Structure 1
Amino acid sequence: MINGFTLLDATTAPTESAQILNEVQAAWGFVPNLHRVLAESPAALEAYATLWGIAEKTSFTAQERNIAYLSIIYENECTYCMAGHTNLSKMAKVNPADIEAIRAGRAIADSKLEALRQFAAKITRQRGVVSETDVAAFKAAGYTNQSVLDVLVLAATKLISNYTNHLAATPNDDFMKGAEWTAPGKLHAIA
């Protein structure tokens, strides 16, 4: 861990965070280190937990949601989230070849999912500044205006987690063993 961040739990976190940590524990059976870092700010933890729940309500299937998440994570170079979402994607029955392709920055075979991968990556890389051609290509693959906006929900969710993990150097959780990832290294801290 860096920058003075620590891993809090329900006994050391602010009261408002402790309640959310207890809910995460009940739902997941453990509290991920990301949540333990976020607990320092009840607002940040609530924002992430709320967005995570809202992301489940988007127009995307579990597989599509995970394809988009992995693509966003790749662009943000978050090693913690890539390890976690690799295993979450497996649990959501995402094609293992697709997971490995995204982790390597390569295209995936399914044309509709590839359009989603490309669009989520471009939205992230270009901070939402995409062309009409980009949007049209995404829609031509079978997505809608709702899908375009739903990608933003996923990107916002990952912005909180990816940036937190960069700031704190959050250590991987035990369930991530075997899914560790080395980022391509395009992002560098500005001195």
Structure 2
Amino acid sequence: MSRLPQIAPEQATPSQAELLSAVKGKLGRVPNLFRALANSPAALRGYLDFSAAIGAGEGLTAQQREIVALAVGEANGCEYCLAAHSTIGKMVGLSPEAIEAARRGEGTDEAGRAVARFAGAVLGSRGRVPDAELDAFRAAGFGDDAVAEVVAHVALNVYTNYFNNLVGTDVDFPAAAPLSAQQPDHAACAAGACSV
């Protein structure tokens, strides 16, 4: 049960209503994350503006952005984000195998593996990525724009992971299935001691 109200349109202030209407116009509905973030129109606007800006980047594909979200969501144990990004991942063409691989900090191809591993390195090292990790990401064909965008997507996903974990946002997407016994240790991942 959510620890903050999930603002319904009929309860919204004018500033909340404007933002929630924009979300509905774009997505066709208002997921609970946005309804909970609407408790602070500034927090919701910040999310929407940052998400739109980095979503328009050219360094990562839509699938690669979802790989980052899945790797970070798994490392942070965010049930809401795993459900949402598993659904969105399917919508942008990720196979179930690619979604599971991303959650494990891996990939089903070289590019997906490189993105997931680099996102995990950024998260686990708190941005203090060793040269070898950065070189490996570049060697997989990614440029400086992709480096910057991975960091931006990690930051955005940490924001929503922490928010949902704190709030206990009611999951309104199909639940992500638990990973098998090879699931990473979230505490070890946060300390940078896992492959995610």
TM range (shorter): 0.7 to 0.9
Report % sequence identity.
Answer: 33
CA contact (8 A) 2:80 2:169 kept: yes
Q: Summarize the alignment of residues 39-118 of structure 1 with structure 2, pairs less than 5 Å apart.
A: 39-58=38-57, 59-103=59-103, 105=104, 107-118=106-117
Partner Cα distance (1:163, 1:101) in 2: 22
| Structure 2, unaligned runs of 5 or more | 188-196
Q: How many equivalent pairs are there?
A: 184
Displacement after TM superposition at 1:39 (Å): 0.4
Q: Summarize the alignment of residues 133-152 of structure 1 with structure 2, pairs less than 5 Å apart.
A: 133-152=132-151
Say which is worse superposed, 105-114 or 87-96, in terms of deviation. 105-114
Q: TM-score, normalised by structure 2?
A: 0.86
Displacement after TM superposition at 1:139 (Å): 0.3
Partner Cα distance (1:46, 1:150) in 2: 20
- In the alignment, what sits opposite 1:30? 29
Partner Cα distance (1:110, 1:47) in 2: 33
Superposed CA deviations along residues 46-71 of structure 1, whole A, max 9, x for unmatched, are 01111121121122111111111111
Displacement after TM superposition at 1:180 (Å): 4.7
RMSD of aligned Cα (Å)? 2.0
Superposed CA deviations along residues 89-138 of structure 1, whole A, max 9, x for unmatched, are 000001321112233x2532311210111001111122111111111110
Q: What is the one-letter code of the residue matched to 2:174? A: K
CA contact (8 A) 2:87 2:174 kept: no
CA contact (8 A) 2:5 2:36 kept: yes
Q: TM-score, normalised by structure 1?
A: 0.88
Q: What is the one-letter code of the residue matched to 1:13? A: A
